[in-house]
Amino acid sequence: MNEERPCAIVTGASGGIGGACVRELSATHLVLAVGRNREALEALSAETGCRVHPLDLADVDDLADVADAVGRVDVLVHAAAVAQALGVADASAEDWRRHLDTDVVAPALLTRALLPMLRAASGTVVFIGSGASTRPVPGSAVYTAAKHALKGVADVLRIDEEPSRVRVVTVSPGQTDTPMLRASVAAGGGTYEPDRYIRAESIAQTVRFAVDAPPDVHLTDIAARPRVEIARI
């Protein structure tokens, strides 16, 4: 990639928050959009000029290919996730593996592959967490556990990479108007009320805020909640 501008890699780019992050960061960065849906990625490329890298993050053996596609990394945004409403009583071993592989293992391994470039750039890693990691809702044990584990990964990575001046930020959105949330509400038999949810673009602007923080500041945990809380548990 052309190294005249800083480079950002965004996973989950064919989803709601990931796509919004690509649009936001493309104004100032060369962006490599990583996602499963090739058609959605190509539409995003036509809109923003980003480069695309179709990839299912569950295919961990292919994660090193992302590092080979870029010459530098200033920003890494982990927005890819699997989210299915499953409690302990209903979740199979495969359900647990699928969530943990996509939501925890893949971000950790991709970060490892890109760490040399992130260190060289004193870059920023942004993990898109979830309010569910600290404010769980009934029937969400699998997703809550995965996002809770992801926060643990981020918290230790932040300590470990402090000597390299790599910044590690967890942005934890509440209910956000995305296809993932729509599917979750439909699966639970609820009523979708988009006016009550956070816009994906607002989360992308929050990521921008973290990325553009002054060099003497290390933002660590940002909770982004709906303006009027939907539920307090």
Query: Which residues are designated catalytic?
Result: 143
* Sign of the torsion formed by the C-alpha atoms of 141, 144, 146 and 151: negative
Q: How far apart are CA 231 and CA 159, in angstroms?
A: 33
The count of C-alpha atoms lying within 13 angstroms of the C-alpha of 14, restricted to the half-sphere facing its C-beta, is 17
In the three-class reduction of DSSP (H, G, I as helix; E, B as strand; rest coil), residue 38 is classed as helix
Taking only Cα atoms into account, the Rg of the chain, rounded to an integer number of angstroms, comes to 17
Question: What are the φ/ψ torsions at residue 46 (nearest 5 degrees)?
Answer: -65, -30
DSSP category for residue 104? I
Q: How far apart are CA 116 and CA 105, in angstroms?
A: 19
* Sign of the torsion formed by the C-alpha atoms of 186, 189, 184 and 187: negative
Q: How far apart are CA 118 and CA 160, in angstroms?
A: 13
